[in-house]
Structure 1
Amino acid sequence: MATIVITGASKGIGFETALALAHAGHRVVAVARSGHGLEKLQETALKRSPDMQILPSVFDIVHGDYEREFRPFLEEKLGQVDILINNAGSLINRPFENTSPDDFSAMLEGNLLGHVRMIQQLLPLMPRDGHIVNIGSMGGFQGSVKFPGLAAYSASKAALHVLTECLAMELESKAIKINCLALGSAQTEMLAQAFPQFESPITAHEMGAYIAQFALTGHRLFNGKILPVAVTTP
């Protein structure tokens, strides 16, 4: 049984990934800002099986106090973290000329710096052969089709991709692997925000199941890789 921390677990792909991992018998720390969403996650898990282990943690990965609010919770209740899935993120859909520097800062905070903070805090709790999975986007994948209105979002995801490549080298001595899944479309609230008229052929449940399996096994074959996971873009 692995102990897994996943951020952005209150809805969408993070919600479904958490359920898939708990259903497979693993202990899941589900992190999100929405307490209501985490309550729904726990209720859904209990309906499926009373044995599913989901520990909710209402926490803001960008502005939260890791030393006082988050690390003590993990150290006291878990001891170590085998897998970290950095799934939390946000999106601004706005023409570039109307996108302010503050908008770009917000995207970098939510889609990059929050994950930087989480990785730095959890590294001391991760054993050798641990796995960090960053959830990127085809919007930030080099050479992919780009779309109007998503410049700030795509740039922030591209930064997360490069961070993954950099940390693969830095974490080599610790034998901790890190990879990034550049997701294409899956039917979520965020997709509807970016492309209101588009319906993805991939459900959040299907994408969550794939991410769960990759988090458990992908580090056996990959390290420092940015892997496109897309049937369509969007």
Structure 2
Amino acid sequence: MKNIIITGTSRGIGLELAKICADAGHRVLALSRNDKPVSEQGHPNITAFPFDLCNESDLKKLDTFISETWGRVDILINNAGKLVNKPFMEISPQEFEEVYRVNVFGVAEMIRRVIPHMPKEGHVVTISSMGGVQGSVKFPGLAAYSSSKGAVITLTELLAEEYKETGPSFNVLALGAVQTEMLEEAFPGYKAPLSATEMASYIFDFALSGNHYYNGKLLQVSNSTP
């Protein structure tokens, strides 16, 4: 049994991932601002509470839970994300900053809070996007989102180097098109080749064993454009 923290569990991949991990017998802490969808599952292996990864009091609540309830975290999956789809000149400075607060600063702070409780064989998996990969196809309107997803790719590489002697391992998955609410927001009407459940199953398997083969690596998980 692993202790697994997943952010962004109110819908899409995160919600499916929480259910898959719990059904496999692992203990899951499911974190999202709206905890109702996952709490309503009533799964005995899932703990959930409202959580904003940009809120200091919520982060302290996370600290307390880890220290007093689990003591150890085996896997952290940074899945939460914020997307703004607007032409660059129409994105306000506040909107640009908010995307980075969730997609970059929030990811960094989650890692900062969790790694003191992770063993050497622990695994931090951050969910990025093909839009954040250098040389991939880019789409207008996603300047804030895609650039933030590029930032966490580099962050992952740096942390893997910094913690290579002590652990945990750090890897990042750049996802292509998956049929989720966020995809519909970015590309209205586009039909993706993969469902949220299918991608969640892949992420689950990778989170459990990927660190045996990879550290500090970007894996492109896409069979389509976008």
For the criterion TM > 0.5, the same-fold answer is yes
What's the TM-score once normalised by structure 1's chain length? Answer: 0.93
Please state how far the C-alpha of 1:176 moved relative to its aligned partner.
1.0
Cα distance, 1:98–1:67 mapped onto 2, change above 3 Å: closer
Q: Distance in 2 between matches of 1:64 and 1:191?
A: 29
- The equivalent of 2:69 in structure 1 is 77
Deviation readout 1:45-82 (Å, 9 max, x if unpaired): x4xxxxx5111121111124256322111211111000
Match status 1:17 vs 2:17: yes
Query: Is the 2:3–2:73 contact (alpha carbons within 8 Å) kept by the matching residues of 1?
Result: yes
Letter paired with 1:213: D
Structure 2 residue runs without a partner (length 5+): none
Which residue is 1:204 aligned to? Answer: 196
| 1:49 counterpart residue number | none
What's the offset of the Cα at 1:232? 1.2
Unaligned runs of 5+ in 1: 47-51
More displaced 10-residue stretch of structure 1: 92-101 or 177-186: 92-101
- 1:231 to partner: Cα distance: 1.1
Letter in 2 for 1:129: E
Q: CA deviation at 1:172?
A: 1.1
SS of 1:65's equivalent in the other structure is helix
Equivalent residue for 1:232? 224
More divergent stretch after superposition (28-37 vs 88-97): 28-37
Distance 1:22 1:144, change over 3 A: same
Deviates more, 1:70-79 or 1:58-67: 58-67
Name the aligned partner's letter for residue 62 of structure 2. Answer: F
Which of the residues 156, 160, 173 maps onto 2:165? 173
CA contact (8 A) 2:39 2:47 kept: no
1:182 equivalent to 2:174? Answer yes
Counterpart-to-counterpart distance in 2, 1:63 and 1:111: 14
For the residues of structure 1 that align with 2:204 and 2:106, how far apart are their CA atoms? 21
Partner of 1:105: 97
- Residue of structure 1 aligned with 2:78, choices 63, 82, 86: 86
- Following TM superposition, by how much is the alpha carbon of 1:175 offset from its aligned partner in structure 2, in angstroms? 2.2
1:154 aligned partner:
146
Say whether the 8 Å CA contact 1:180–1:225 is kept in structure 2: yes
**Identity among equivalent pairs (%):** 48
8 Å contact 1:32–1:38 — kept in the other structure?
Answer: no
Change (3 A) 1:21 1:186: same
Match of 1:3 in 2: 3
Cα displacement string for residues 162-221 of structure 1 (whole angstroms, at most 9, x for unaligned residues): 000000011112121000000001100000000002010100000000001100000000
Letter of the structure 1 residue corresponding to residue 149 of structure 2: K
Number of equivalenced pairs: 226
Q: Which amino acid aligns with 2:33?
A: R
